[in-house]
């Protein structure tokens, strides 16, 4: 009977340990997702900013060679991210699709000028910077008109600020929930060994001696849970990349190592801190309360 009860107890402890590790892994996956958003937040913001276009209409008399030379001149500017030259033929085709084939019949020659579609580097996508860029573009004798879409830029920056605030609140909430859930999971796992702790205390073991094996298990538990969470997150990212490869053009693969490090630090750190306080509490608990 004692051997049977010992086996049952070991199975229960193993089951509790396994469920504890899996529970912590699930929580750490959420931490990993939140961290992925945080470390790539700047790149995501820059991605949307660098999609904003400034349309530069050149004068009607500007030739293709002059337009190409002006494009090359602008590409050397620090504010230029990408520049696309829209020829008269391309512009005419675009207008045909919008207005129909008959709109040119009233003109002796095509009224569509050569234009440039300019996207700016992210640091220049603000109202003040765009006004400076616009003034520089308009100073050229080749330029007829510049459409900087300042109102859209203001709206974009305003929305990105709101999204950053919401994301920050979400991250803090996730960290709080993760800490609480992992702490409760660790507490339940250690509580099953409260009688062992009480026995060690009765034979005169110091607090440090009692805590040591539990702290060691906490490190192992945190590492195992972290590795499971990293593996599961990696599989999820892989399948997401397979389905939406264009989405990951804005993510820096090197930052995934930082996310993995954050998961490990959170997993091990929270397990250690929770274990420390739970063991201290159980060491000091009254004997009569061990049965509740």
What number is the average pLDDT over the span 176-190?
71
- Whether residue 33 is found in the same domain as residue 177: yes
- Whether residue 176 is found in the same domain as residue 202: yes
The DSSP string of the chain is -HHHHHHHHHHHHHHHHHHHHHHHHHHHHHHHHHHHHHHTHHHHHHHHHTT-EEEEEEPTT--HHHHHHHHHHHHTSTTEEEEEEE-HHHHHHHHHHHH-GGGGGG-SS--PPPEEEEEE-GGG-SHHHHHHHHHHHHTSTTEEEEE--HHHHHHHHHHHHHHHHHHHHHHHHHHHHHHHHHHHHHHHHHHTTHHHHHHHHHTT--HHHHHHHHHHHHHHHHHHHHHHHHHHHHHHHHHHHHH-GGGGGGS-TTHHHHHHHHHHHHHHHHHHHHHHHHHHHHHHS-GGGGG-
- Give the CATH number, domain containing residue 83: 3.30.70.3040
Q: At a CB cut-off of 8 Å and minimum separation 6, what does 46 contact?
A: 122
- Tell which of 148, 178, 205 closes a domain: 148
| Tens digit of each residue's pLDDT (9 = 90 or more) over 142-157 | 888 888 776 666 776 7
| Tens digit of each residue's pLDDT (9 = 90 or more) over 42-79 | 777 777 788 888 888 888 888 888 888 988 988 888 98
- Whether residue 271 is found in the same domain as residue 176: yes
| Tens digit of each residue's pLDDT (9 = 90 or more) over 244-267 | 776 666 677 777 888 888 889 988
Q: What is the pLDDT of residue 267?
A: 86
| Tens digit of each residue's pLDDT (9 = 90 or more) over 37-51 | 777 777 777 777 888
- Whether residue 22 is found in the same domain as residue 68: no
- Whether residue 136 is found in the same domain as residue 255: no
| Tens digit of each residue's pLDDT (9 = 90 or more) over 81-113 | 888 888 877 766 766 666 555 555 555 555 677
- Whether residue 203 is found in the same domain as residue 80: no
Q: What is the pLDDT of residue 1?
A: 42
- Whether residue 274 is found in the same domain as residue 208: yes
- Tell which of 103, 131, 148 closes a domain: 148
Average pLDDT, the chain: 77
Full domain range(s) for residue 269: 2-45+157-291
What number is the average pLDDT over the span 227-256?
79
- Whether residue 218 is found in the same domain as residue 283: yes
pLDDT band for 207, please (50, 70, 90 cuts): confident
- Whether residue 132 is found in the same domain as residue 257: no
- Whether residue 193 is found in the same domain as residue 270: yes
| Tens digit of each residue's pLDDT (9 = 90 or more) over 263-284 | 899 888 888 888 888 777 777 7
Q: What is the pLDDT of residue 52?
A: 80
- Tell which of 148, 171, 196 closes a domain: 148
pTM of the model: 0.63
The count of structural domains within the chain is 2
- Whether residue 127 is found in the same domain as residue 180: no
- Whether residue 124 is found in the same domain as residue 167: no
């Amino acid at each position: 009977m004692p051997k049977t009860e010992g086996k049952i107890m070991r199975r229960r402890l193993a089951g509790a340990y396994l469920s504890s590790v899996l529970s912590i892994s699930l929580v750490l996956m959420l931490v990993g997702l939140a961290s992925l958003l945080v470390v790539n937040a700047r790149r995501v913001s820059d991605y949307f900013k660098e999609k904003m276009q400034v349309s530069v209409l050149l004068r009607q008399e500007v030739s293709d060679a002059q337009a190409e030379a002006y494009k090359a001149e602008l590409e050397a500017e620090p504010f230029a991210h990408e520049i696309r030259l829209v020829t008269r033929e391309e512009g005419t085709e675009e207008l045909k699709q919008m207005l129909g084939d008959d709109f040119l019949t009233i003109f002796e020659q095509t009224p569509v000028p050569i234009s440039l579609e300019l996207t700016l580097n992210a640091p220049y996508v603000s109202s003040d910077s765009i006004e400076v860029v616009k003034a520089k573009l308009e100073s050229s004798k080749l330029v007829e008109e510049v459409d900087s879409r300042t109102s859209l830029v203001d709206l974009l920056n305003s929305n990105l600020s709101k999204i950053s605030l919401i994301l920050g609140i979400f991250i803090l909430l996730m960290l709080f929930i993760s800490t609480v859930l992992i702490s409760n999971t660790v507490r339940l796992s250690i509580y099953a060994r409260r009688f062992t702790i009480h026995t060690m205390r009765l034979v005169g073991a110091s607090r440090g001696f009692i805590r040591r094996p539990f702290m060691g298990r906490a490190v192992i538990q945190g590492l195992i849970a972290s590795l499971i969470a990293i593996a599961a997150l990696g599989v999820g990212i892989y399948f997401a990349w397979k389905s939406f490869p264009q989405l990951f053009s804005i993510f820096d693969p090197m930052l995934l190592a930082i996310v993995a490090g954050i998961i490990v630090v959170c997993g091990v750190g929270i397990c250690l801190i929770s274990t420390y306080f739970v063991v201290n509490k159980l060491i000091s608990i009254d004997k009569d309360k061990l049965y509740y």
